[in-house]
């Protein structure tokens, strides 16, 4: 799904439809879970989410924390807390952190739950909708959390519109339709980070340029990962293209005539970065850090 969804082109009509669908689903849920990529908690945000969800309580799930820099993830959690938003690090591949979502959401909704209890509806599960930009892990999240358990459909709002609910256990239910949001396109730095992580198509930026830019960032901020992975020595004076050539050489990537196949090396570097093979790396720094 990630690959397929990252091909989405957002046109004004498409965005209007998404806005409408999310607005229609909002009254059905108690809380919105915004899935962000822990490697780019800033760049993977949707520019309009705040105005879309209005006063609806929300929670941030920093997904892919298994391949993000743990120190930076903690700084992002502190940053969001300073804005009054609870963020939980999660790893949907291993399910790490997912068991914290319901208890944290229930804490956020405690006044509402107390009101339900007063009305004798204390056992009512809390209802959650998950939103996020393509490739952030929404379908993986839903597959993990729902484990195939469709909730009983009786007495559920939204059923008439074809919505289904998954039981999350521990008093939570998840709307099965994830809100697929668009990222911020206008900032070229954001676009580049979305391309590094694979959230937007490589073709938006030439693959070799992208790999060179990534290698420059890694050499400056996370040199150990590439030094270890590609068995490099002193890289301090090297620019991105020189690094790419060296990596192609180390991996024996040649085209006919003995020339280095930097195109193939670019694809490899980007794939290995995306798979977390170059270390636990975060590309966005919290404001004020
Ligand atoms: P989407 O619905 O939001 O578009 O995202 P999706 O779940 O399809 O996930 C996009 C990619 O991110 C998938 O990789 C998925 O495996 C990966 N992913 C999701 N959650 C995590 C996580 O917590 N940690 C890590 N490391 N990766 C995660 P893919 O390469 O597109 O597919 P696949 O080959 O893994 O199936």
Q: What is the mean pLDDT of residues 275-288?
A: 96
Q: How much is the pLDDT for 264?
A: 96
Nearest protein Cα to ligand 1, atom 22: 64
Q: What is the mean pLDDT of residues 38-44?
A: 97
Query: Which residue among 137, 139, 176 is best mutated to probe the pocket of ligand 1, counting the most ligand atoms within 8 A of its Cβ?
Result: 137
Q: What is the mean pLDDT of residues 257-275?
A: 96
Q: How much is the pLDDT for 148?
A: 55
Q: Ligand 1 mean position to 165 CA, how many Å?
A: 22
Contact predicate 79/53, CB 8 Å: no
**Among the listed residues 232, 244, 285, the one whose alpha carbon sits nearest the alpha carbon of residue 268:** 244
Q: How much is the pLDDT for 162?
A: 58
Q: Ligand 1 mean position to 257 CA, how many Å?
A: 38
Pocket lining: 8 vs ligand 1, CB cutoff 6 Å = no
Eight-state DSSP code of residue 10: -
Residue of 182 and 38 predicted with greater confidence: 38
Tokens of 259: 């020339």
The pLDDT > 70 percentage for the chain reads: 90
Q: What is the mean pLDDT of residues 123-136?
A: 92
Contact predicate 94/20, CB 8 Å: no
Q: How much is the pLDDT for 165?
A: 84
pLDDT in tens, 63-73: 999 999 999 99
Pocket lining: 272 vs ligand 1, CB cutoff 6 Å = no
Query: Which residue among 89, 90, 98, 140 is best mutated to probe the pocket of ligand 1, counting the most ligand atoms within 8 A of its Cβ?
Result: 140
Domains, the chain:
2-176 (3.40.50.300), 206-274 (1.10.1580.10)
Query: What's the mean pLDDT when you consider all of the chain?
Result: 89
CB-based burial of residue 233 (10 Å sphere; 0-12 exposed, 13-18 middle, 19+ buried)? exposed
Q: What is the DSSP string of 135-165?
A: TSSHHHHHHHHHTT-BPP-TT-TTGGGT--E
pTM of the model: 0.91
**Among the listed residues 76, 177, 182, 81, the one whose alpha carbon sits nearest the alpha carbon of residue 130:** 177
Q: Which atom of ligand 1 is nearest to the CA of 141?
A: 7
Q: How much is the pLDDT for 204?
A: 62
pLDDT in tens, 234-264: 898 899 999 999 999 999 999 988 899 999 9
Contact predicate 163/141, CB 8 Å: no
pLDDT in tens, 3-28: 444 445 677 888 888 899 899 999 99
Eight-state DSSP code of residue 198: T
């Amino acid at each position: 799904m990630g690959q397929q969804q990252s091909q989405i082109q957002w046109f004004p009509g498409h965005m209007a439809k998404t806005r409408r669908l999310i607005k229609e689903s909002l009254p059905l849920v108690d809380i919105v879970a915004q899935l962000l990529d822990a490697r780019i908690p800033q760049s993977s945000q949707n520019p309009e989410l705040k105005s879309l969800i209005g006063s609806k309580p929300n929670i941030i799930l920093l997904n892919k924390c298994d391949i993000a820099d743990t120190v930076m993830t903690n700084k992002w959690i502190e940053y969001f807390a300073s804005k009054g938003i609870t963020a939980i690090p999660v790893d949907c591949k291993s399910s790490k952190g997912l068991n914290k979502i319901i208890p944290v959401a229930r804490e956020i909704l405690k006044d509402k739950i107390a009101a339900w209890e007063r009305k004798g509806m204390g056992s009512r599960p809390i209802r959650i909708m998950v939103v996020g930009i393509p490739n952030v892990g929404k379908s993986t999240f839903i597959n993990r959390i729902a484990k195939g358990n469709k909730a009983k459909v009786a007495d559920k709002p939204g059923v008439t519109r074809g919505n289904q609910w998954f039981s999350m256990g521990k008093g939570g239910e998840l709307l099965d339709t994830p809100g697929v949001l668009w990222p911020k396109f206008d900032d070229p730095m954001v676009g580049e980070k979305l391309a590094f992580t694979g959230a937007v198509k490589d073709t938006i930026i030439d693959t070799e340029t992208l790999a060179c830019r990534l290698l420059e960032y890694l050499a400056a901020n996370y040199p150990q990962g590439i030094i270890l992975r590609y068995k490099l020595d002193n890289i301090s004076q090297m620019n991105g293209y020189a690094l790419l050539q060296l990596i192609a050489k180390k991996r024996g990537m040649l085209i006919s005539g003995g020339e280095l196949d930097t195109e193939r090396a670019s694809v490899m570097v980007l794939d290995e970065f995306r798979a977390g093979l170059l270390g636990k790396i975060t590309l966005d720094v919290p404001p004020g850090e």
